Chain A
């Protein structure tokens, strides 16, 4: 980033979990990289100085799952629109699942996404390649080529492979190239036709349910296959207490498995469906308060090393219909920071731990040198005011998808500046 300006960010509370740094300190950036922390090198003359007094300065957030909908679903969102939303949310790297149209099952689509995102330059978009051609769960993709085209991991988005033998072969083949598999732990047969957690609320509302066992059966299968094949797997979006318990047991045994949770799963539960709010139609479904508490505990004790937005912007029509007929997913980028800060407010994590799960935690899963601030690293930064109160409204929402149950709810914590490779890509 030779065209990046020389910048100093001064007087902010600098938190870098990777380096264990938490103190008020200045940070100086040049040529798109971190030049120095603390005193400026002699002779350094910044083009601009940002005053971060009272604010937190931390690495830019790394989001393991955010759909940008491009190519193919531009009526819902584009790389440009969601890049703006990401930048406004402090997200400097996001992974987009392969369920674009066409599917990211060949290097050309992966390269196209890289090219478009580089052209806009708002956030780094890493495409997750498909494990099987067309996400159909039948033939494995050219995984080595996808890796060369810049896919840090492979996955099936929300279309898990039904055939366990194909799943096994996909894990084995990926392991050959050291590729991590992002797996949505959801048994396709047990979850078929379901639109809500199978429990008291779905029973009362007559909504076809997705049982807890849909997750635990899938976790059990994939852990067994990871153990058998030696592949490295990552469970994307765990939602049950039993699921995280099984992950913890397997990790303790040395299985190469990790997991994350979508931020909204740490706050919303099945009870939020009671008035058929289509914005709460999600996959995996919102589970019980006990599951939510177990997910929080797993995040606190390090079983889950990342949180993500599971951002799924939709056009308004996708959510206008009877609950089971609406498209699942919520627009989550812009609530990443306030929800994460609420975890701190509610004592689940301290501020350092929270930032860790948004930065170096997900970066480690991607095995990329991201999410940290040390001299020489890419100057991807987020500067935020942890006390700023704001209320999301359609007028101020940046993502093209307005489908969030948090619209109109007062939130605390707002991004002031986001820097990508030393360039300011967002400022309030």
Chain B
């Protein structure tokens, strides 16, 4: 028996956005198409559309984040929703309140959508399983598990430069083991039909059986791994990984896995370089690459708002459809 995908409603529409895993290529393409449409909103004099007027979106961040929270906030505001920003790490849970208590209390304030970031894998699924039927959950990063909007903004960025996913070679470099971004990227790339996805890292930063789990190829040599790549995605290395048993030093990491112009020279001449930010210059890549002609890092930030607008409007819009449909069903019952 197949368990139904918890993020889709009975009609197969997006109700929550928890993970890329289990979503169809058609649905991912729909998100990208809608995001393209929202890119123009940011360039308008009045940067607002009334799609989610009257809706309340709560940013529930149990881990500190400025960039992601800000783009979600902007996205919600551009959709004309009301936004609550809650930095939970310093409030309720610090006083012993459970996650479920927090959810219930905010639900009582008639929040329509929770954008959730949390240090534990599976948090977004947990909240979706316990949320009231009319509430949507968007995962803004849970543990090492998933960061689906980040992956989709990366897909949008790639598509705007390389429209045909079926011909791409994509290399992801760095701390795959701890990266929710990499997990979502790998699934998104494979779902969208990218035939050659590579992960490049020392063995200490690659999860067990990563090739089998995600349908990718593992490399331990950067130049070899980025050879003929169309896209090179660099991941952030957390400083606490250094001087632990995972990596000996920043110096050795940069020597072997840091992206320089020279190492990038094995990639295709028109290859683009991406990074989810913030960059550790001189650790993951040198400034020449980060600020170079092939870097699309700032485009990623811009695209992030459009993708988040698309996902939020789809979930909230479907929520509306779902509600009116169930009301209709109730009337006819």
Contact = CB atoms under 8 A, between A and B. Distances in A.
Interface of A: 198-209, 211, 274-276, 317, 320-325
Contact of A206 (B3, B6, B98, B145): B145
A403 to B, nearest CB: 15
Given A203-B213, A321-B99, 13 more contacts: A198-B208, A199-B208, A201-B213, A205-B121, A206-B180, A207-B144, A208-B121, A209-B208, A321-B126, A322-B118, A322-B123, A323-B121, A324-B120
A207 B208 CA distance: 11
B21 interface: yes
Q: Which residue of A203, A321, A324, A325 has the most chain B CB atoms within 10 A of its CB atom?
A: A203
A124 B249 CA distance: 57
Nearest to B143: A206
Contacts of B142: 206, 322
B125 interface: yes
A321 B99 CA distance: 7
Contacts of B125: 275-276
Contacts of A202: 207-208
Given A206-B146, A320-B98, A322-B99, A199 B121 contact: no
A205 B98 CA distance: 23
A207 B98 contact: no
A199 B209 contact: yes
B150 to A, nearest CB: 14
A204 B123 contact: no
B212 interface: yes
Nearest to A197: B208
A220 B202 CA distance: 28
Interface of B: 3, 6, 21, 98-100, 118, 120-123, 125-126, 130, 142-146, 180, 183, 207-210, 212-214
Contacts of A199: 208-209
B144 to A, nearest CB: 3
Contacts of A206: 121, 142-146, 180, 183
B122 A324 contact: yes
B100 A324 contact: no
Contacts of B123: 322
A126 B3 CA distance: 41
A203 B145 contact: no
A199 B207 CA distance: 8
A317 B98 contact: yes
Contact of B6 (A203, A275, A322): A275
Contacts of A203: 207-210, 213-214
Q: Which residue of B6, B120, B125, B214 has the most chain A CB atoms within 10 A of its CB atom?
A: B120
4 tightest A-B CB contacts, nearest first: A206-B144, A206-B145, A322-B120, A276-B122
B100 to A, nearest CB: 6
A275 B21 CA distance: 11
B208 A324 contact: no
Contacts of A205: 121-122, 145
Contacts of A274: 3
B243 to A, nearest CB: 18
B121 A207 contact: yes
A19 B208 CA distance: 48
B190 to A, nearest CB: 12
B162 to A, nearest CB: 26
A200 B212 contact: yes
Q: Which residue of A206, A274, A325 has the most chain B CB atoms within 10 A of its CB atom?
A: A206
Contacts of B214: 203-204
A61 to B, nearest CB: 31
Nearest to B21: A204
Q: Which residue of B100, B209, B214 has the most chain A CB atoms within 10 A of its CB atom?
A: B209
Given A320-B98, A321-B99, A324-B122, A207 B207 contact: no
B122 A207 contact: yes
A115 to B, nearest CB: 35
Contacts of B210: 203
Contacts of A322: 99, 118, 120-123, 126, 142-143
18 contacts: A199-B208, A200-B209, A202-B207, A202-B208, A204-B213, A205-B121, A206-B142, A206-B180, A207-B143, A208-B121, A211-B208, A276-B125, A317-B98, A320-B100, A322-B118, A322-B120, A322-B121, A323-B121
A208 B122 CA distance: 12
B241 to A, nearest CB: 14
B120 A323 contact: yes
B213 A200 contact: yes
A204 B183 contact: yes
A199 B121 CA distance: 15
Contacts of B126: 276, 321-323
Nearest to B3: A275
A198 B144 CA distance: 14
A275 B7 CA distance: 11
Nearest to B183: A206
Nearest to A207: B121
A206 B212 CA distance: 14
A202 B207 CA distance: 9
B96 to A, nearest CB: 12
A211 B21 CA distance: 24
Contacts of A275: 3, 6, 125
A276 B139 CA distance: 15
B121 to A, nearest CB: 4
Contacts of B121: 205-208, 276, 322-324
Contacts of B213: 200-201, 203-204
Nearest to B147: A206
A317 B98 CA distance: 9
Given A203-B213, A204-B21, A324 B143 contact: yes
B194 to A, nearest CB: 17
Contacts of B212: 200
A323 B208 contact: no
